[in-house]
């Protein structure tokens, strides 16, 4: 699915992190099961994790039987434990970030995770200097994206994510919505959310980024 011509060029890029910039599905699944076991909740198969994962994180943990009084602690520990385990960058992530740097396209991160996790991952992969800002943990991405859309006017701002919440949040704000395959959400659910663009690698966005500074 292609971006409509009038919105083809991306001049500001906002990225989800886990499952989007990071290919960390296995890391997140294992960390989740460690925490579920710790609170006496049943662990999830990988397929169950992908089917049930949702944002905000508190809703996900409630759905997988974490006791209400433990949710805030489990959410905090999820980010802390994840930061101690390395994960690879998603396909095309470095190429996209480097193109944005050369073209002077601002790149921000809007995440449901603790920013400390994003900083740890970014520093490990040497991409921290390519990120203009990190906002998180976001309880409802719609509000943040709506504020960004209001400041930037129409067109040229894209939000990229691997969950239906990411897609619907971008759509509600009137931004270019980009759904990434291979993350936390099965392909059929990503396509059913009808984002403007569906990609299987972040480098697929290179044609929408100016080659040099404008």
> What is the rounded average pLDDT of the residues 110-116?
94
Angle at 38 between CA 35 and CA 39, to 5 degrees: 95
pLDDT tens track for 79-100: 999 999 999 999 999 999 999 9
pLDDT tens track for 117-174: 999 999 999 999 999 999 999 888 999 999 999 888 767 999 999 999 999 999 999 9
pLDDT tens track for 12-41: 999 999 999 999 999 999 999 999 999 999
213 CA to centre of own chain: 26
Q: Which two tokens stand for residue 5?
A: 């011509």
Structural domain 5-23+89-208, CATH architecture: 3-Layer(aba) Sandwich (3.40)
pTM above 0.75, yes or no: yes
Question: In terms of DSSP H, where are the helices of 68-152?
Answer: 71-83, 93-103, 115-125, 141-152
Classified as helix, coil or strand, 29 is helix
Q: Which two tokens stand for residue 140?
A: 């409802």
User: Kind of pairing, strands 157-161 and 176-180?
Assistant: parallel
């Amino acid at each position: 699915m292609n971006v409509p011509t009038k919105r083809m060029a991306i001049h500001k890029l906002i990225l989800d992190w886990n499952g989007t910039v990071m290919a960390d599905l296995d890391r997140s699944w294992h960390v989740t099961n460690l925490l579920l076991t710790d609170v006496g909740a049943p662990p999830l198969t990988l397929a169950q994790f992908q089917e049930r994962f949702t944002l905000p994180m508190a809703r996900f943990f409630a759905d997988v039987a974490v006791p209400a009084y433990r949710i805030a602690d489990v959410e905090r520990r999820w980010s802390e434990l994840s930061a101690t385990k390395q994960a690879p960058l998603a396909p095309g992530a470095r190429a996209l970030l480097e193109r944005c740097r050369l073209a002077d396209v601002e790149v921000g991160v809007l995440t449901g995770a603790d920013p400390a996790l994003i900083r740890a991952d970014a520093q490990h992969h040497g991409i921290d200097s390519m990120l203009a800002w990190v906002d998180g943990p976001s309880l409802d991405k719609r509000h943040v994206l709506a504020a960004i859309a209001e400041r930037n006017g129409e067109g040229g701002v894209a939000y990229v994510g691997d969950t239906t919440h990411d897609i619907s949040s971008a759509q509600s704000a009137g931004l270019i919505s980009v759904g990434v395959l291979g993350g936390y959400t099965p392909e059929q659910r990503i396509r059913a959310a009808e984002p403007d663009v569906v990609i299987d690698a972040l480098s697929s966005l290179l044609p929408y980024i100016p080659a040099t500074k404008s």
